[in-house]
Structure 1
């Protein structure tokens, strides 16, 4: 068994609503997870926070097992190169996202991470030889225009947080592209477990030279960060049992509402109309990409956040037909 049964398109209305509500709850949990790591800020290095987040992500492993799967199957793969790419991309994504949320407002961090669908499209053209039409080119253009509006290069300083957000989006996109290249032939525990193992291993090794033992307050925030993200992934997988991925996918953009609300209430952040305009363009870009990929039956992994924990992961449909 490589994947759970795809969600049926004939879900009843109540069942679909249940799945959508579970997805909204998942993305609320992701947003609270990101707020937890932001509260640590400069208290711990990003790679150490990423290490603890990866440790907590191990909680998800039992939910990734198929009927006859074993935990050791996390190392089983039909393409070791793609397995290693996932092993490396996950820790890069989690370190990038922690860096972004530590240095930027939550809304601005999400704005850049939400470029992931555009990165996926561009990488799919280069590596998977996908052909795309003008709507998806339009989506890419809108996304990058939105980023320019938000960043306003030359008018405001850029920081390492902006770089971290872009790295997080690109790392998540790399994961999605590897799923598209091998997802139909791999077990879930191998698809997603490779990245989590990479996070524990790589972030752990990088943390060793300057490892600082977290105090009680930091440990509580790290537990909140990691366990809320794990809970969110479980909720997201359960939501796929009730609703199609096409119905679930748009709910990920509810994170922007949470980002604006939490940023204002907890961190005192504010967003002007220019920034909100850029955010709107980037969200439109992502939604156009999602709609077009569902129409073209672009294959992808089961719904789960693939960049770690942060929910900028692009949900894609479970239908494994060849793209039109």
Structure 2
């Protein structure tokens, strides 16, 4: 179990560093272009995710293709929104808003799946949105596209998770991972038809770090869920916030004021409580991280 939890921490460290690479582009490439190349490089994880007996065509063939398409679209939208958020906001602030994902899952579980949600989880939802108000402080600070993008990213991740629940527990891991990568490539590729900027050598290096580290993180997370229960691995996601604060301070001179730090703590606490309380959420981690 210890090895699984350790691998979880390593996976989310790799995810956070991957995000730092794409933030280092500083908007010099369109977000959809960064996502396209990042997803293309992310396909390098497929040989490690593929299990004996899996066929390569199962990357795009799912038992419920409609839900595969929903996850593919949600992944594409979420990935582009994440790049916009990391470009425009301090890393910790972007992560805090993206971590509304489990709160959105709770709401969608009621609206879409008609699940019963008790007062404790509703309290966590309210607390999460209170934390958002503390972070954003509307009327007291300028809000921009980055804040909207971060919230959209969290919502897209929640839609992907709900679609995964509906598709059932027997979907091949190859199809689950393929939906995220292929969907992001197709959606971004269409946008690239309108405008394309050939990356410079330095930009290629940053894109490589972004895509390859995300692929490595996905493989590490898969290994983690094989060696430890999902409900032990899932909370390690919140270690990304520590990496966000550290990387933001060291690499991008990000600074957090006290109200923002308090709001972030409220959002993280509400999200972590939701993950712990919601057994069905943790089942998703047994398959694959889909943001």
Cα distance change, pair 99–298 in 1 and its aligned pair in 2 (3 A): closer
Of the three residues 299, 303, 306, the one matched with 2:290 is 306
Report the Cα offset of residue 60 of structure 1: 2.0
Alpha-carbon offset, residue 205 of structure 1 = 1.5
What CA distance in whole angstroms lies between the structure 1 residues aligned with 2:247 and 2:282?
Answer: 34
Say whether the 8 Å CA contact 1:113–1:168 is kept in structure 2: yes
**Residues 1:209 and 2:194 aligned together:** yes
Secondary structure in structure 2 of the residue aligned to 1:185: coil
1:251 and 1:113 mapped to 2: Cα distance?
Answer: 15
Q: Match of 2:142?
A: 157
In the TM superposition, residue 201 of structure 1 has moved relative to its aligned partner by 1.0
CA contact (8 A) 1:135 1:288 kept: no
Q: Does structure 2 retain, via aligned residues, the 8 Å contact 1:236–1:303?
A: no
The one-character-per-residue Cα deviations of 1:143-194 (angstroms, maximum 9, x if unpaired) are 1100100000111111111111111111111111111111313211122212
Out of 167, 170, 177, which is 1:182 matched to? 167
Query: TM-score by structure 1 length?
Result: 0.87
Task: Note the C-alpha offset of 1:87.
Answer: 1.7
Q: Give the secondary structure class of the aligned counterpart of 2:169.
A: helix
Query: How many residues end up aligned between the 2 structures?
Result: 291
- For 1:304 and 1:271, locate their aligned partners in 2 and report how far apart those are by CA, in whole Å: 32
Counterpart in the other structure of 2:271: 286
The unaligned stretches of length 5 or more in structure 1 are 1-15, 308-324
Structure 1 stretch displaced more, 73-82 or 150-159 = 73-82
Identify the match of residue 158 of structure 2 among 173, 176, 198.
173
**Counterparts of 1:136 and 1:156, CA distance in 2:** 30
Maintained 8 Å contact 2:9/2:239: yes
Question: 1 or 2 for the larger relative contact order (CA 8 Å, sep ≥6)?
Answer: 2
Secondary structure, counterpart of 1:239 in structure 2: helix
Partner Cα separation in structure 2 for residue 32 and residue 154 of structure 1: 33
Aligned with residue 232 of structure 2, among 247, 260, 266: 247
Question: Secondary structure in 1 aligned to 2:290?
Answer: coil
The answer as to 2:102 corresponding to 1:100 is: no
2: distance between equivalents of 1:248 and 1:49? 28
TM-score (norm 2): 0.96
Deviation at 1:303, TM superposition (A): 5.0
Q: Where does residue 71 of structure 1 map in the other structure?
A: 56
